[in-house]
Amino acid sequence: MSKSISDVGLSPRVYKILSSLGIKNIERLADWGEKELLRTPDCGRRSLAEIKTMLARNGMTLREDYYLDEKTQAGMTLRDYFAGKAMQGLLRYPYGEDMCKP
């Protein structure tokens, strides 16, 4: 049986946001990505942080947002997309490359 969002201790603000999206349980919430939630009215970084914390307490995460590469039309995570651009030397470092090295 899936947990209802009303039973996991969310703030009233986050509960209202999720209810307006028609999300009734945390399994359905885990199918959403960060970008989708942030596009929702009244859902900002703090609300997103609360959602992610609650999911982590229940052993779940939001799904990863995907980026569609224009040339290959292949879906990939944003992390993978930018890692590929960095490997190709297509990213510019605003403060110099030495600032980005460990």
Residues 50, 75: one domain?
A: no
How far is Cα 22 from Cα 46, in angstroms, rounded to an integer? 20
| For residues 52-63, average pLDDT | 91
Do 9 and 52 share a structural domain?
yes
Confidence at residue 11, expressed as pLDDT on a 0 to 100 scale: 95
Residue 100 has pLDDT above 50, yes or no: no
Q: What residues pair up with 68 in beta bridges, in sequence order?
A: 75
How much is the pLDDT for 85? 62
Amino acid identity of 17? I
Same structural domain for residues 74 and 53? no
Q: Please indicate, yes or no, whether residues 16 and 53 belong to a single structural domain of this protein.
A: yes
Average pLDDT over residues 86-101: 53
By residue range, what is the domain housing residue 45? 5-57
